[in-house]
């Protein structure tokens, strides 16, 4: 496994990561890591590699964009002194362009998204043992759908930034696309954004595979 024993893994993102995690820090007893893929990761890492004793911390916040992550990066990432950091952001950056098209002041353009995410990766990579960057996704098989096409654009940005800074890239959209060959989007996420347990398992499986854990 790529993550060394006794490492601290901090995962940051939006509602897809959040999923009722504890405040101010999503770590500890009684479901503190929330009900997302993060909880599945903690469970499988503990079950498959118990001797590694990996600390899993959920710092997702519902509704956030990459600009919100930048505003809380010091307290929610650096102050926690992680060994590994995982970033999955972009759904709201794209979604607000479609569900609130007239409120342009809250939109995050591809240019702003790339600049901000690149800055976070650049500042973070030298301070940690490993950086993981997950592509944002839209659970829609039609790649010509306007929101799906835009999400793919933002996913390509993440892939480019990950390569630039030596981060581990996880193509979550590709993981969903594989399952969408056999299931309708409604069976994975009612709004094609917020996954059910199947959807979160798809993310967790892709994550575990990327870090070298076999299920």
Show which residues are catalytic: 15, 191, 194
Structural tokens at position 148: 């799906």
CA atoms within 13 A on the CB side of 113: 27
- Based on its alpha-carbon atoms, the radius of gyration of the chain, rounded to whole angstroms, reads 16
Distance from the Cα of residue 135 to its chain's centroid:
7
- Kindly report whether the peptide bond that precedes residue 24 is cis, defined as omega within 30 degrees of 0: yes
User: Are the beta carbons of 87 and 132 closer than 8 angstroms?
Assistant: yes
Structural tokens at position 20: 């009722």
User: Are the beta carbons of 63 and 15 closer than 8 angstroms?
Assistant: yes
């Amino acid at each position: 496994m790529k993550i060394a024993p006794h490492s601290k893994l901090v995962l940051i993102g939006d509602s897809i990561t959040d999923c009722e995690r504890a405040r101010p820090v999503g770590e500890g007893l009684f479901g503190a890591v929330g009900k997302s893929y993060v909880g599945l990761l903690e469970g499988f890492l503990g079950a498959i590699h118990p001797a590694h004793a990996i600390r899993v911390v959920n710092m997702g916040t519902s509704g956030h964009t990459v600009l919100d992550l930048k505003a809380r990066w010091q307290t929610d990432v650096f102050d926690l002194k992680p060994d590994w950091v995982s970033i999955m952001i972009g759904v709201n950056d794209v979604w607000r362009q479609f569900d609130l098209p007239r409120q342009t002041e809250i939109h995050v353009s591809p240019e702003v998204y790339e600049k901000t995410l690149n800055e976070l990766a650049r500042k973070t990579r030298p301070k940690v043992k490993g950086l993981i960057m997950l592509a944002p996704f839209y659970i829609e098989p039609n790649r010509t759908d306007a929101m799906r096409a835009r999400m793919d654009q933002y996913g390509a940005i993440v892939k480019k930034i990950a390569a630039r800074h030596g981060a581990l890239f996880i193509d979550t959209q590709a993981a969903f696309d594989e399952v969408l060959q056999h299931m309708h989007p409604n069976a994975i996420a009612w709004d094609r954004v917020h996954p059910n347990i199947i959807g979160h398992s798809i993310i967790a499986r892709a994550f575990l595979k990327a870090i070298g854990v076999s299920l």
